[in-house]
Amino acid sequence: MNGPNEQPGTLLLFARDPGSANQVLALYEMLTDQISGARPDSDSPVASLVRRLATGRSISDIRVAASRAALALLGDAGIAVEDWDSVRDIDAISARLADGQVAEIVTGLSDRDDRTPQKLWFAAKALGARTTALLDDTTVAHRMARADLDQRFRLPDGELVLPSVIAAIDDQSRNALIAAGITADTITVIGHLHIHRFRRIAADMPEDSVRALRESWGAQDSDHVVLFASEPLREMAAEGKQRDVDELAVLTDLLERIRVGDPITTNREPDSTIVVVRPHPREDDSKFAALPHDMKPRTLVSRDGSSAQAILAADTVVGISSMMLVEAASIGRPAHSMIDFDPAAAACPF
């Protein structure tokens, strides 16, 4: 614990997947604005969190670490990021925290394929460091996620481990956490940090970069581009996470709906419709190799452009529960889920 005259110590922000990287990136920008005096004062829950994390710290007191897909995302944003891909066991994590004099840690909420955030919470508790976990979406409240939500708070051996604070996006997420056994007074609702930032990025996106991406897909002005935001459900199934949907089956269903003129997915004929499959960063593109290339609508796989560019270049965004659906809905673009997920509702907690 720090005494009243002691410095608050190093703040470590950690992410390992795109969702948590998005939240960490938005928080980092809020913290630097707060420290530099550029952030307007507010009494909102997120403002209280930012003030607490920033008070007594300089920007140099904030370290950012990442592994897996989050490394590239944060690096591309121009942030100096520590590579933690090889930091796996609790002893190594504890040594990093102690050597860096880390007093507080903010992480995303990892899934069962990577328990680094959970190990960070465990190691931090032993060192007396405070921890905050940022939820990066509202799908924890969806019926599919509720069945194994508690697994996201367990170490590989099954031991339950909790951060000091869990920052949820909305009240439904908070209620789902409480139903999973999380103590209510450890949960705060802060809204969606990433969506705030995404809206600004989309508003400032140059039109020529959007048009260039659309042209790279081979789309004309008269074409209707459906962007399919895929998800790594098959990859997660290999880790034991069961869902009653499959991304390739959903994509196949989408293509068939377009062929029969389903107005939910497109209002154009298959001949003038292009489906652009955008894989999740944790997906292997080879899984889409069997897609038919000799049938309408024309279908291609592309990771080109940022999510904002791709959403703006498309006419409709379709998927399961991808963050790209929420991003699209947040800026008023057509977004449709092929399951019982409401992108517009998920985009509301600003």
Count of other CB atoms within 10 angstroms of residue 141: 22
According to CATH, the superfamily of the domain at 10-191 is: Glycogen Phosphorylase B; (3.40.50.2000)
Using CA atoms, how far residue 209 sits from 12, 78, 205, 218, in Å, is: 34, 20, 7, 15
- Is pLDDT above 90 for 4? no
- Is pLDDT above 80 for 127? yes
- Is pLDDT above 90 for 106? yes
* Choice among 49-53, 145-149, 224-228 with the minimum mean pLDDT: 145-149
CATH fold match for the domains 10-191 and 206-346: yes
What would the pLDDT profile of 298-349 be if each residue is shown by its tens digit?
A: 999 999 999 999 999 999 999 999 999 999 999 999 999 999 899 999 887 5
Q: In this predicted structure, what is the pLDDT of residue 77?
A: 93
Name the residue with higher pLDDT: 238 or 94: 94
- Is pLDDT above 90 for 227? yes
- Per-residue confidence at 44, pLDDT binned at 50, 70, 90? confident
What would the pLDDT profile of 265-309 be if each residue is shown by its tens digit?
A: 666 777 889 999 999 998 989 999 988 877 899 999 999 999 999
Q: In this predicted structure, what is the pLDDT of residue 1?
A: 45
Q: How far apart are CA 109 and CA 83, in angstroms?
A: 18
- 297: preceding bond cis by omega (within 30 degrees): yes
Q: In this predicted structure, what is the pLDDT of residue 38?
A: 86
User: Under CATH, which architecture does the 206-346 domain have?
Assistant: 3-Layer(aba) Sandwich (3.40)
- Is pLDDT above 80 for 112? no
Angle at alpha carbon of residue 115, lines to 110 and 117, rounded to 5°:
60
* Domain residue spans of the chain: 10-191, 206-346
Q: DSSP for 87-107?
A: --SHHHHHHHHHHTTEEEEEE
Say whether 86 sits in a helix, a strand or coil: coil
Whole-number average pLDDT of the chain = 91
Mean pLDDT computed over 188-195: 94
C-alpha closest to that of 210 among 80, 307, 329: 307
Q: What is the strand order of the sheet 62-66 is part of?
A: 82-83, 62-66, 10-15, 102-108, 130-134, 165-168, 187-189
